[in-house]
Structure formats: structure tokens, C-alpha cells
Amino acid sequence: MNIDNVIKQVRSAELTPFLCEQPANENTLDFDGTLADFLAFAAQFCHKPVMVWRYVFTDSYLQTDIKTEPNGEPLDYRVIAPDASRYESHFDEEVGYRLMVWLKDINEKVAFTKFDSWVDELFEEKEEAVIAYKAEKAEEREREREARQQTEQALLARVEALFDDPTFRSLTTQRAIN
């Protein structure tokens, strides 16, 4: 993805690009349309400065929201989908951009985000893999719970069988012996 071309388009829309880092907390409205639509909207309804930042593909794009332990690191997507290692060749490449503008009349931000198509595919694949992984883990927990429950029921059945066993009933307790 060539962000320099995007910056030229921002300037040709008579807006001022403002290069920045991605904010930690985003409270913005996401623009739904094309880059040309966004720039036309911004030129008419927004202040001139346009925040521009690049998305560079790093290892963090391959992390999931699944924790390996209760307070552990996130599970790497490559662990649940080994073929995802094919994306490693894109590390340190620019893969997208985000533009953000401020509306003139209200204190609100509007953003436009664009990723290379393969990154969108990665996000979809990762989401599907995470859903499948979580479903598999839930089924595993359910099977373990059922196995524990069956073991407990078998033990209770053995204890109940002792009540009907005349030999067991004839045994005296330690307390009765003393």
C-alpha cells in the first residue's frame, strides 16, 4: 500500500495531511464509502487538518483475543492455524492507512480506514479460526464436565450399593467399638 499516493489525494482535495500514530483510545465515527467520498465529505464539512497514519504489518496482527492462561499472553493465530505463517513474509510492510478529520460544527471525529485486501482476508480467517477454536474448547470442557459427572454418579451408586450390602451393614463403626 502506498500512503504517499493517499497523501497526494488529501492535498488535492485542498486538505492538510497531518501524519500521526494510531491513538490508543479511538472514539470516532467510521466513514463508510470510498477514499474519494471521504475526501469530498471532509473538504465540505470538516476542518482542514487531516490526521494520517500508516498501518505497518507486525506480529501483533497475528495475535488473538484468546489468553493462553488466565493472566497470560494472547494466543498466536499461527498456533491454531499453522498455515497462517505465510503472512510472516509481510512483516514490516505498510498494509493500510487511517485518515481522521474533525467536523466543523460539532466536536466529533470522522475516520476512514483502508487495508490491503489480503489483510482483510487475514482478519476474516483469524476471526473464523478463533470462533472454531473457542467452540472446540467449549466442547472439550463440556466432555470433561460430563466425564466428571459420570465418575461422581458411579461413585455415588457404589456408596448406595453398600447400604443394601448385608456384610457392610453388619460392620461396626469405630465409634461403636470404643
- Cell numbers at residue 6, please? 493517499
Cα gap 87→129, rounded to integer Å: 15
Q: What is the pLDDT along the chain (178 residues), one digit of tens a residue?
A: 677 888 888 888 888 775 555 554 566 788 878 899 899 889 988 998 999 989 999 999 999 988 877 777 888 888 888 888 899 999 999 999 999 999 898 888 888 999 999 999 999 999 999 999 999 989 999 999 999 999 999 988 888 887 777 877 777 765 544 4
